[in-house]
Amino acid sequence: MGNVLIAGDLHGNTAHALTVVRTAVREECARVFVVGDFGAWEHMASGRRYFDVIGKAAKRAGVIVYFLDGNHDKSSLLHELYDDCRDDEGFLVCRKHLRYAPRGHRWIWEGTAFAAFGGARSTDKGWRLAREARKAELVAQRRRYGSSKTPETAGTLWFPEEEMTDDELTALLAADDSPVDVLLTHDKPRASQPKWNRKDKPECYPNQDRVQRIVETLHPSVVFHGHLHVRYTDTIASGDGQWTRVEGLACDPEASQYPEYAKEHSWYVLPLPYAQPEIEAAEPDSLPA
């Protein structure tokens, strides 16, 4: 059971999350790692139920589900609730079998060095803020007519902590810039070129540049990321004559807009210990462009 099932964005989709847990069992993976947009919405009752359901399903299946934060996760609340509740490897324990990897977290599984860096930019921030404002307005109206229902508005659709700042990243890399084998991120590195890219927009470039900087500092053999909602593989230069394989993972079926989607595109079985890919031994001329 040394394998880990790396999974793309779940967006709080319980049915798909349960499929991912079942897939982990079938593929003999003791661990699942979700690369962001997990659905960390514990400021809402539905979000707390989602955590409960996934935590219990993971326990029954005998697996532990880990995740990093995407732009649609309320990571500030995860820190608020669980910063003081960490396991031996430093993960934040949200439920016994459901754990969060904060930005810059590092760990070793089966001799393989990992690092996680969450966060990304939402391109529909304006729409999300407008919807929040409309919800707040409706709650205020209901209040005027005597409803005592607690509003669940601010931060339900857009979270100010969604992307790393340059200062945050600089501090994390200054704390530890030693190499890793496997890098897990939500956003893509700037240099990778997916066949279908819904995030090729100027406002997305600063965070993609941050992920690129992480790649060129830590020189991982492979990066797994989500956020683009499409499955692709690419190889990029990671500095000092090294190369990094990039594996973009698709998301849950409801959030996918990619015409050739298949749910199998949303996960990847990573055998541990991780074997260096053949590409590292290849001649530079034979490397993909």
Q: Which residues bind Fe ion (CB under 5 A)?
A: 9, 37, 70-71, 120, 227
| Cβ contact 274:256 at 8 Å | no
Shortest Å, Cβ 72 to Fe ion: 6
CA distances from 74 to 68, 232, 249 (A): 11, 27, 21
Shortest Å, Cβ 187 to Fe ion: 8
Which residue lies nearer to Fe ion by CB, 71 or 75? 71
Which residue lies nearer to Fe ion by CB, 39 or 220? 39
Shortest Å, Cβ 286 to Fe ion: 34
The one-letter amino acid code at 200 reads D
Which residue lies nearer to Fe ion by CB, 99 or 188? 188
The residue to which tokens 């990778």 are assigned: 192
Q: In sequence order, what DSSP letters do the residues of 174-223 get, joined into one string? A: HH-----SEEEESSPPTT---SS-TT-SGGGHHHHHHHHHHHHHH--SEE
Shortest Å, Cβ 40 to Fe ion: 12
Q: In sequence order, what DSSP letters do the residues of 54-114 get, joined into one string? A: HHHHHHHHT-EEEE---TTS-HHHHHHHHTT-B-TTS-EEEETTEEE--TTEEEEETTEEE
Shortest Å, Cβ 7 to Fe ion: 12
Which residue lies nearer to Fe ion by CB, 71 or 217? 71
Which residue lies nearer to Fe ion by CB, 23 or 71? 71
